[in-house]
């Protein structure tokens, strides 16, 4: 009963490096999301996907790209990391909004960009 799994859990990057965060869910959820959490700001939506092969921008998409080639996976990429991207990243998944289900969250990835 894995739910939502995020890898890696921790990462330190140098400015300008690239990396990909992986999110995998085994609940057959249609929708998947990437959020970042910063102190005093709650969770802010980066990108989301309403189905395989589709992605859309959220509230703070700049500097990030995403892909959803398979229904169960949602990848978040940083092409050229900046210190402003130091944050905790959460992936979440859910059923369609018309059923107004809550989200299932992964355990988070703590990223530090130096």
Partner 1 sequence: AQKITQTQPGMFVQEKEAVTLDCTYDTSDQSYGLFWYKQPSSGEMIFLIYQGSYDEQNATEGRYSLNFQKARKSANLVISASQLGDSAMYFCAMREVYNNNDMRFGAGTRLTVKP
Chosen residue from 1, 2, 42, 62 binding partner 1 by CB under 8 A: 42
Q: Which of 45, 60, 61, 73 binds partner 1 (CB under 8 A)?
A: 45
102 contributes a contact to partner 1 by CB under 8 A: yes
Residue of 68, 105, 65 whose CA lies nearest to 81: 65
Closer residue to partner 1, CB minimum distance, 44 or 70? 44
Nearest of 17, 23, 19, 16 to residue 2 by alpha carbon: 23
Candidate list 25, 87, 90, 93; residue touching partner 1; CB under 8 A: 90
Q: Is 43 in the site for partner 1 (CB under 8 A)?
A: yes
Tell me phi and psi for residue 4, to 5 degrees: -115, 125
Whole-angstrom distance, CA of residue 84 vs CA of residue 67? 22
What mask, x for binding partner 1 by CB under 8 A, covers residues 50 to 69? x-----x-x-----------
CB 97 within 8 A of CB 48: no
Q: From residue 99, give the alpha-carbon distance in Å to each of 22, 54, 71, 103.
A: 26, 20, 19, 12
List contacts with partner 1 (CB under 8 A): 31, 33, 35, 40-45, 48, 50, 56, 58, 88, 90, 92, 94, 96-98, 100, 102-105, 107-108, 110
């Amino acid at each position: 009963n894995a739910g939502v799994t995020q890898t890696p859990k921790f990462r330190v990057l140098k400015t300008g490096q690239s990396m990909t965060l992986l999110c995998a869910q085994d609940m057959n959820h249609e929708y998947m999301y990437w959020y970042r959490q910063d102190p005093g700001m709650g969770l802010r939506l980066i990108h989301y996907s309403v189905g395989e092969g589709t992605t859309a921008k959220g509230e703070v998409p700049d500097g990030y790209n995403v892909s959803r080639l398979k229904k169960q996976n949602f990848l978040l990429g940083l092409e050229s990391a900046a210190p402003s991207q130091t944050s905790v990243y959460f992936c979440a998944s859910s059923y369609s909004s018309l059923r107004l289900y809550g989200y299932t969250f992964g355990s988070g990835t703590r990223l530090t960009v130096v």
